[in-house]
Amino acid sequence: MSGTPARPVRLLYFVTEDWYFCSHRLPLAIAARQAGYEVAVVTRVNRHADSIERAGLRLIPLDLSRGSHNPLADWRAFVALYRILKRERPDILHNVALKPVLYGSLAARLAGVPHIVNALAGLGHIFADQHRAGRLRRIVQLAFRWLLKGRSQIIVQNPDDLRLLQESGAIVHGQATLIRGSGVDLERFRPTPEQDGMPVVTLASRLLWDKGVGEFVAAAGQLSQAGVAARFVIVGEPDPENHSSIPLAQLHAWRDAGSVEWWGKREDMPAVLAQSHIVCLPSYYGEGVPKVLLEAAATGRPIVTTDMPGCREVVTDGENGLLVPARDVSALAQALERLIHNPQLRALMGEKGRRLAEREFGEVQVITRTLAVYRLLMPLA
């Protein structure tokens, strides 16, 4: 007697932005589909619909703004998400980043979704800035305790975030998995020889004050005034939905002053890093594990970054880069100058960074560990 074949396990990703899904989760979703999951993506559709659909993934548009402070707009988005979950009936909902974790967890509970994976790609400015966001942080912590505890599997990217969630009572022991970052494609990002000419120091990021862009510009100004021969390059664009976004007028003013170059948003990051001699990210944002630092390590470039959660996951001070205190322009300038003047040290640190990326941060390793979380919740038939 033959029964009705079991349907594939339905896996639904919820991410606010299609560009973020493509840059940080698309390879994982493709691997999940190849493993036998039926995969769909709920996100705000902007410019990357073709990339998602070409990968064989079903795309479900949802307009939820990351930076919205409009309760009515957020309520409408939440209701739309709830209706999507009721219609799609996913077996596993994978929420990525803070707002989807909060909204997705509540909608999933109401819609009866049996299994939830909540991936926190850093805790962001709400947890990084205790003074400015203290009240909001307390609200989020209370929401975590109700929505996350015993209801889902949590993926965190660094041990500092894991400890904070445990100490706040938001999660219980054994509920969280530490997976450091979204991984790096070790074939796409490969070591290349340094290009001839003046050393290029590159900061590539969303252009937010919290990413340390102002400190980078100030350090570049100090070094330029001191006669240090180097080019200081900013790569990226502002993020108007983030309260910390740097105005375009400020970027133009920095560029016109001459101490830094602004290359705008670039999609060809392997080429950008190949032109770079040093990669710098003086962030105090509340990172998970910054993807650009993984890419820099894989490319064999030394890194100067802050001794902050997430950033220090990629750099061992003095080994594959240098760690400096957050917001310390003088320390940042000194660290950059040390590497600018020492090509042998740059080469040695770059080699160690590549080995670290191969050992701990390869995309395949991250995908394998994440698929294991899915199987823990609901094994494939």
For residue 345, give the CATH number of its domain.
3.40.50.2000
Tokens of 52: 């998602």
247 and 238 in contact (C-beta within 8 Å)? yes
Flag the least confident range among 172-176, 236-240, 299-303, 368-372: 172-176
Mean pLDDT computed over 223-232: 97
Q: Which pLDDT does position 380 carry in this prediction?
A: 81
Q: Are residues 145 and 261 in the same domain?
A: no
Q: Which of 332, 337, 339 is nearest to 218 (CA)?
A: 332
Q: Is residue 72 one of the residues assigned to a domain?
A: yes
Q: Are residues 323 and 236 in the same domain?
A: yes
Q: Is residue 1 one of the residues assigned to a domain?
A: no
Q: Which pLDDT does position 19 carry in this prediction?
A: 94
How far apart (Å, rounded) are the C-alpha atoms in residues 228 and 336? Answer: 10
Q: Are residues 208 and 325 in the same domain?
A: yes
Going 195 to 200 to 206 to 210, the CA torsion angle's sign is: positive
298 and 270 in contact (C-beta within 8 Å)? no
DSSP E strands: which ranges in the chain? 10-17, 38-44, 58-61, 92-96, 115-120, 153-156, 176-178, 200-204, 231-235, 261-264, 278-281, 303-306, 321-324
Q: Are residues 118 and 58 in the same domain?
A: yes
How far apart (Å, rounded) are the C-alpha atoms in residues 288 and 199? Answer: 29
Q: Each residue of 326-341: pLDDT tens digit?
A: 999 999 999 999 999 9
Binned at pLDDT 50, 70 and 90, residue 371 comes out as very high
Q: Are residues 64 and 106 in the same domain?
A: yes
How far apart (Å, rounded) are the C-alpha atoms in residues 113 and 91? Answer: 6
How far apart (Å, rounded) are the C-alpha atoms in residues 381 and 375? Answer: 10
Residue 68 sits in which domain range?
10-182+362-377
Q: Is residue 2 one of the residues assigned to a domain?
A: no
Find the farthest-apart pair of alpha carbons in the chain and give their distance in angstroms, rounded: 84
Q: Is residue 194 one of the residues assigned to a domain?
A: no
For the chain, how big is the Rg over CA atoms in Å? 21
Q: Which pLDDT does position 1 carry in this prediction?
A: 43
Q: Is residue 104 one of the residues assigned to a domain?
A: yes
The overall average pLDDT reported for the chain is 91
Q: Each residue of 80-100: pLDDT tens digit?
A: 999 999 999 999 999 999 889
Name the amino acid, one letter, at 73: A
Q: Who's near 275: CB < 8 A, 6+ residues apart?
A: 195, 200, 202
Q: Are residues 237 and 311 in the same domain?
A: yes
How far apart (Å, rounded) are the C-alpha atoms in residues 275 and 44? Answer: 33
Cα-to-chain-centroid distance, residue 235: 16
Q: Which of 322, 323, 316 is nearest to 355 (CA)?
A: 316
Q: Are residues 231 and 324 in the same domain?
A: yes
Mean pLDDT computed over 308-328: 97
Q: Are residues 53 and 35 in the same domain?
A: yes
Q: Are residues 372 and 336 in the same domain?
A: no
Q: Are residues 176 and 27 in the same domain?
A: yes
Q: Are residues 126 and 46 in the same domain?
A: yes
Give me the percent of the chain exceeding a pLDDT of 70.
Answer: 93
Model confidence at 236: pLDDT above 70: yes
Going 8 to 9 to 10 to 14, the CA torsion angle's sign is: negative
Q: Which pLDDT does position 174 carry in this prediction?
A: 80
Higher pLDDT, 124 or 141: 141
Model confidence at 150: pLDDT above 80: no
Q: Which pLDDT does position 69 carry in this prediction?
A: 64
Count up the domains in the chain and report the number: 2
